[in-house]
Amino acid sequence: MKNLLILNILLMMTLGCSSTAPYPYQVWSSQETPRTFKVNEPWVLVILDNEGSIKQRLTVKFTEAVADSCSSGDWRVLDVVNTYPNGSDIILGEPAYYLSGAALIVDLSANLCDAGYELMGQLTLVGVSGEHYPVSMFGGEKEGNFYGVPVYDN
CATH no. for residue 38?
A: 2.40.128
Nearest to 132 by CA among 23, 63, 45, 43: 45
5 against 48, higher pLDDT: 48
What is the predicted pLDDT for the residue at 9? 47
Asked if the model's pLDDT at residue 15 lies above 50, the reply is no
User: What pTM was computed for the model?
Assistant: 0.80
Q: What are the tens digits of pLDDT across the range 26-78?
A: 898 889 999 989 999 999 999 999 999 998 999 999 999 999 888 888 999 99
Would 5 be classed as within a structural domain? no
| pLDDT score at 150 | 95
Q: Which domain holds residue 119?
A: 22-150
Please, what sign has the CA dihedral across residues 35, 40, 43, 48?
positive
Q: Is the pLDDT of residue 3 over 80?
A: no
Percent of the chain clearing pLDDT 70 (strictly above): 81
Q: Is residue 4 domain-resident? A: no
Q: Please check whether residue 7 lies inside any domain of the structure.
A: no
